[in-house]
């Protein structure tokens, strides 16, 4: 049976089930048929604009290997300095969003020196107020992470503000819940603010549902609110399963239509392999990556970790929808050659069989 490569709005709504979603989403990179189909869709205006963007243009990803975490993050951004600074113009404020999936294990979190590297790059050029904001999934609260991971010093060092995004206003959207039913979810308004330039500052890690967790996932699954009484982030996981067709992939695709980082930065100085995103073990990778195209960034990082991005459904679906460049043949790597940064991370033990990673 031929796999369908494009679909309209009504077909998307019908495709909420995991089986239909899997049939709809194809491999990274657009075939000629998909490109033609998307061109046709562009001609047919729908409420709110075209359903799909045009196929994404070639992308540039900066990759730097070195012996100082803060410096390699800074150097990764310097390689794309002109395009980053141009992309910030017109924005009223800047948000640097680290990853504190847990607040008591430093290996699971974005290291504070990676954020220092970003701030070293931004401060000489940007007059906009800069916020470091996180919305941890932990009941202990974001500020426990700031305290445990040494972030409190950033306010005096750089004049930035530390914010718990879980304390910010929210709006309602929908994701797919148990039984594939549309489920209301609270989304932190900051992630929808067009005046805010969002920088995803992620640590390179493996994950128990999505194989890897990098720049995109750091934003998409942080956007739901955890008010420390009810944690809506878990609604994106829908059901506790480890299939490549798990609804977490479609929920990330769905949220990405409105929520997306402007700049992605990945701290892989000491990365995590195995049972991530919290319980894994360290990998002394000594790399940092940065790009305005977070899909290209995550696809390259996934490949460097030794995994096939073509097997990760939310990445392939976002590429099909033109949300970024998913074809690594169309990604220019700046800085350290990619072949000098190739690793073989251990996957999460629960994904070895369903993803064929043995």
Rounded mean pLDDT, 26-43: 45
pLDDT in the model for residue 49: 54
pLDDT in tens, 2-26: 333 333 333 333 333 333 333 333 3
Does residue 144 carry a pLDDT above 50? yes
pLDDT band of residue 260 (cuts 50, 70, 90) is very high
pLDDT in the model for residue 29: 40
141 class by beta-carbon count within 10 Å (0-12 exposed, 13-18 middle, 19+ buried): middle
* 29-43, 129-143, 344-358: least confidently modelled range: 29-43
Rounded mean pLDDT, 41-67: 73
* 169-178, 223-232, 233-242, 318-327: least confidently modelled range: 233-242
Domain parsing of the chain, residue ranges: 57-351
pLDDT in the model for residue 193: 98
Q: Distance between CA atoms of 257 and 321, rounded to whole angstroms?
A: 9
Rounded mean pLDDT, 278-293: 98
Look up residue 323 and give its two tokens.
Answer: 């949300």
Contact between 316 and 340 under an 8 Å Cβ cutoff? The reply is no
Contact between 344 and 302 under an 8 Å Cβ cutoff? The reply is no
Cβ atoms within 10 Å, residue 310: 18
Cβ atoms within 10 Å, residue 25: 25
pLDDT in the model for residue 255: 97
Contact between 324 and 295 under an 8 Å Cβ cutoff? The reply is yes
Look-up: residue for tokens 């309602």?
172
pLDDT in the model for residue 37: 46
- Beta-bridge partners for 226: 231
Say whether pTM exceeds 0.85: yes
Helix H or strand E segment including 331:
strand 331-335
Pick the CATH number of 57-351 from 3.10.180.10, 3.40.50.11440, 1.10.20.10, 3.30.300.30: 3.40.50.11440
Q: Distance between CA atoms of 166 and 60, rounded to whole angstroms?
A: 33
pLDDT in the model for residue 203: 98
**Sign of the alpha-carbon torsion through 217, 240, 244, 23:** negative
Look up residue 249 and give its two tokens.
Answer: 């992939």
CA distances from 171 to 225, 271, 297 (A): 9, 34, 29
pLDDT band of residue 90 (cuts 50, 70, 90) is very high
Q: Distance between CA atoms of 175 and 184, rounded to whole angstroms?
A: 6
Spatial neighbors of 162 by CB under 8 A, at least 6 apart, are 131, 132, 133, 143, 146, 151, 152, 154, 155
Helix axes 313-320, 247-255, angle to 10 degrees: 40
């Amino acid at each position: 049976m031929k796999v369908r490569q494009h679909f309209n709005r009504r077909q998307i709504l019908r495709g909420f089930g995991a089986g239909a979603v899997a049939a709809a989403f194809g491999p990274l990179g657009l075939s000629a048929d998909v490109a033609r189909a998307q061109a046709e869709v562009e001609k047919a205006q729908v409420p709110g604009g075209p359903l799909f963007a045009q196929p994404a243009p070639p992308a540039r990803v900066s990759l730097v290997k070195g012996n100082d975490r803060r410096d390699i993050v800074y150097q990764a951004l310097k390689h794309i300095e002109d395009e980053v600074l141009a992309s910030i113009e017109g924005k009223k404020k800047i948000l640097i969003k680290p990853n504190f999936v847990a607040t008591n294990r430093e290996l699971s979190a974005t290291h504070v020196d990676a954020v220092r590297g970003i701030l070293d790059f931004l401060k000489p050029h940007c007059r906009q107020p800069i916020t470091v904001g996180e919305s941890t999934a932990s009941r202990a609260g974001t500020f426990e992470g700031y305290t445990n991971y040494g972030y409190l010093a950033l306010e005096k060092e750089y004049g930035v503000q530390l914010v718990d995004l879980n304390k910010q206003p929210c709006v309602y959207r929908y994701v797919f819940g148990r039984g594939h039913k549309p489920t209301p979810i609270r989304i932190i308004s900051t992630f929808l603010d067009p005046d805010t330039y969002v920088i995803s500052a992620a640590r390179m890690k493996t994950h128990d549902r999505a194989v890897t967790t990098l720049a995109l996932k750091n934003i998409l699954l942080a956007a739901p609110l955890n008010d420390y009484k009810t944690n809506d982030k878990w609604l994106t996981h829908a059901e506790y399963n480890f299939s490549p067709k798990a609804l977490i992939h479609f929920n990330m695709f769905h949220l990405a239509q409105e929520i997306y980082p402007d700049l992605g930065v990945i701290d892989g100085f000491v990365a995590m392999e195995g049972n991530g995103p919290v319980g894994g073990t360290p990998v002394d990778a000594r790399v940092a990556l940065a790009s305005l195209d977070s899909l290209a960034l995550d696809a390259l990082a996934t490949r460097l970790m030794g995994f096939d991005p073509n097997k990760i459904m939310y990445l392939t679906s976002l590429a099909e929808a033109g949300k970024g460049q998913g074809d690594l043949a169309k990604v220019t790597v700046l800085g350290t050659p990619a072949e000098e940064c190739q690793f073989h991370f251990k996957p999460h033990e629960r994904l070895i069989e369903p993803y064929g990673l043995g």
